[in-house]
Structure 1
Amino acid sequence: MWTLQDAKNQFSAVVDAALSGQPQEVTRRGKPAVVVLSSQDYHRLVADARDQRPSFADHLLSFPTEDVPRGQAMPRDVTF
């Protein structure tokens, strides 16, 4: 894990480690901020996430089919 200042000072080492297949975590003010990883790993993660996500049509079809009870609100009287 790198602090932000160390990662800036040794950015080439951060990139080299990420390219060798070791994602590099960077903290800011002691809290996890970002992960530097190779472009190949990033695109693989995005493709995997896209493949696991259902289509929009599948999402709509997964809604409950039984009748959903609705509230019985009455309109209020309005005078003009």
Structure 2
Amino acid sequence: MSATKKQEAWTVANAKAHLSEVIERAQSEPQMITRNGTPSVVIVSVEEWNRKTERKGSLATFLLSSPLAGTELADARLLDEPRDLAL
């Protein structure tokens, strides 16, 4: 039995027996494989994997490109002295 549009996931045994088909279908949409009835892994195309894991830059780059970069933020900190506590 192979995965069809109605069947949402492959069992491990089915995926092993039809690996070429699993790979072929993963080119167009993610393929879920279950183990003991529980979702275990999803197989996706390399293009999808690269798109999802592509690094968009560092946090510093993100913050520097913010519309607020270069603006002065008001820092309203209290300059009170610490309290004396009787211990």
**Structure 1 residues 6, 53: closer, same or farther in 2, change over 3 A?**
farther
Q: Hey, which bits of structure 1, 4+ residues long, moved more than 2 A?
A: 50-55
1:6 aligns with 2:14: yes
Residue segments in structure 2 that go unaligned for 5+ positions in a row: 1-8, 64-74, 78-87
**Structure 1 residues 52, 2: closer, same or farther in 2, change over 3 A?**
farther
1:31 aligns with 2:53: no
Query: In percent, how many aligned pairs have the same letter?
Result: 33
Task: Report how many aligned residue pairs link the two structures.
Answer: 60
Q: What is the Cα-based RMSD across aligned positions, in Å?
A: 3.0
1:51 aligns with 2:56: yes
Structure number with greater Rg is 2
- CA offset at residue 54 of structure 1? 2.7
> Larger helix proportion, structure 1 or 2?
1
Amino acid at match of 1:7: A
2:52 counterpart SS class = helix
- CA offset at residue 38 of structure 1? 0.3
Residue segments in structure 1 that go unaligned for 5+ positions in a row: 59-64, 67-80
Amino acid at match of 2:33: V
TM-score (norm 2): 0.56
> In the aligned structure 1, how far is the partner of 2:36 from the partner of 2:15?
13
Greater relative CO, 1 or 2 (CA 8 Å, sep 6+) = 1
